[in-house]
Structure 1
Amino acid sequence: MSIQSHLQELKRRHAALDQELSRELASPAKDSVRVAELKRKKLVLKDEMNRLGGPITFH
């Protein structure tokens, strides 16, 4: 897997986590432990993308 394709996969996973986090935050019975876990996972992906040197743009 090339670095570019790996970065694209990381961005895809980050976006999916972002959507999941948004759904969790919108839930009236949100789980604060789950919210923290999702935020941590997003940060791990962002750090890996930074490490690989890719431009970080999220929508």
Structure 2
Amino acid sequence: MSLGSHLNELRKKHQTLSDRVEAAQRSPSADELQITELKKQKLRLKEEISRLSAQ
């Protein structure tokens, strides 16, 4: 897989996590631990995207 393809996949995953976080936050029965975990995953992806983009 090329670097560009890998970055695109990471960006898609980041957007999917972002959508899940937004949906969870709108839910009246939102699980704060789940939201926190999703945000951590999102941050890890963002950091990896930034690291790979800088190369």
* 1:6-52 deviation digits (Å, cap 9, x = unpaired): 00000000000001111100000110000100000000000000110
TM normalised by structure 2 equals: 0.94
Aligned residue pairs: how many? 54
1:49 and 2:49 equivalent? yes
TM normalised by structure 1 equals: 0.88
CA distance in 2, matches of 1:22, 1:10: 18
CA distance in 2, matches of 1:29, 1:53: 37
Query: Which 4+ stretches in 1 moved above 3 angstroms?
Result: none
1:20 and 2:20 equivalent? yes
How far 1:53 moved relative to its partner?
1.6
CA distance in 1, matches of 2:39, 2:26: 15
Q: Percent identity?
A: 41
Higher helix share: 2
Unaligned runs of 5+ in 1: 55-59
Residue type matched to 2:33 in 1?
V
